[in-house]
Amino acid sequence: MRKTFAKTLVELAKKDKNIFLITGELGYGALEEFWQTLPKQFLNAGVSEQNMISMAAGMAMAGKNVYVYSIIPFATMRPFEQIRLDLCYQNLNVKVVGVGAGFSYSMYGASHLASEDIAIMRSLPNMTVVCPGDPLEAKFATIASAKHKGPMYLRIAKAGEPIVNPELKHFRIGRAVTVRQGRDATIIATSNLLQNAVEAGKILKSTGFDCRVISMHTIKPIDATAVLKAGRETKAIVTLEEHNIIGGLGSAVAEVLAESGLKVKFKRLGLTDEYPKIVGSQKFLRGKYNLNPEQIVKIVKGLK
């Protein structure tokens, strides 16, 4: 997904000289084509994320369409106040690209995990939060980001995710994608858990359980229409995210449901408000939090 983002941004920036990319000294294996082919639209700001965000704000004030790039905690949490004041308070055209959604850097410890980023970014006025679920969504999201005016957080995974929804033709920020129709229950997934949601949907179907699968690639603004439709038409909703269950996709969906008056069974799956106590691969850690397809299937069936 990361390479798709980088490749798409190169194509966009070749056509639009106003696009500018700043990295905080990261992007090995992903950004080379950009800095080699578009050196005048690229800056490595060094390992200094606070300055990187303030500088991006200044460049946007001078008319540039700026992308800043780092691993998620360093892109979003280290310079949080710069994002809050310089980007969001001033409502500037800067896209914060965070790489390493959820457990992408699972072996590296919580310093590199992205488990609170959605909650933090979603709380900021003027901020749009987009978490593509596969490389095709990442491509569409990157194209949409270049046209979007205002601060945006783009959450990118990097495990070589497959395209799970090749049928995708239309992408709009804030409009969820229904990957599979269904009447019995709904799985709403975001970011790199879309694949497991689709897998779970297939397994459920094979057992005669008709489960809707929604890709909620935009967490803010949340697609309330899609959530309410699922709440009316299906009996249970399960949310999937490689993120703390506090403040992320699950919370955003819960907010819509709680204010709707709808009666629907509901379960959030994600990190249960803790830093993983044990090291392991992405798949291993997903297993610790019931995020692998077989586990999801069991939970969805148990809810009904």
What is each CA distance from 106 to 114, 195, 229, 275, 281, in whole angstroms? 10, 17, 35, 11, 6
Among positions 193-232, residues that touch other proteins (CB under 8 A) are: none
Contacts of 147 (CB under 8 A, 6+ apart): none
Distance of CA 236 to the CA centre of its chain: 23
- CA distance linking residue 120 with residue 76, whole number of Å: 8
Among 15, 40, 169, 170, binds other proteins (CB under 8 A): 40
Minimum distance from residue 17 beta carbon to other proteins (Å): 10
Among 30, 31, 56, 101, binds other proteins (CB under 8 A): 56
What are the backbone dihedrals phi and psi of residue 36, each rounded to the nearest 5 degrees, phi first?
Answer: -80, -40
Please give the C-alpha separations between residue 224 and each of 20, 230, 253, 254, 256, in angstroms, as whole numbers: 33, 10, 8, 10, 6
Regarding 57 and contact with other proteins (CB under 8 A), the answer is: yes
Of 38-46, 210-218, 219-227, 251-259, which segment contacts other proteins by CB under 8 A?
38-46
* 54 lies in the binding site for other proteins (CB under 8 A): yes
Q: Kindly tell me which of 64 and 243 has the beta carbon lying closer to other proteins.
A: 64
Within positions 89 to 108, which residues make up the interface with other proteins, using CB under 8 A? 89-90
Among 50, 178, 260, 295, binds other proteins (CB under 8 A): 50
Other CB atoms within 10 A of residue 39 CB? 9
Q: How far is the CB of 79 from other proteins (least distance, A)?
A: 8
Name beta bridge partners: 42.
21
**65 is an interface residue for other proteins by CB under 8 A:** no
Distance, in Å, from the CA atom of 135 to the CA atom of 156, rounded to the nearest integer, reads 9
Min dist. Cβ of residue 88 to other proteins (A):
10
**Applying CB under 8 A, does 45 fall inside the site for other proteins?**
yes
Q: How far is the CB of 169 from other proteins (least distance, A)?
A: 37
Q: Which residues here bind other proteins, judged by CB under 8 A?
A: 40, 43, 45-46, 48, 50-51, 53-64, 81-82, 85-86, 89-90
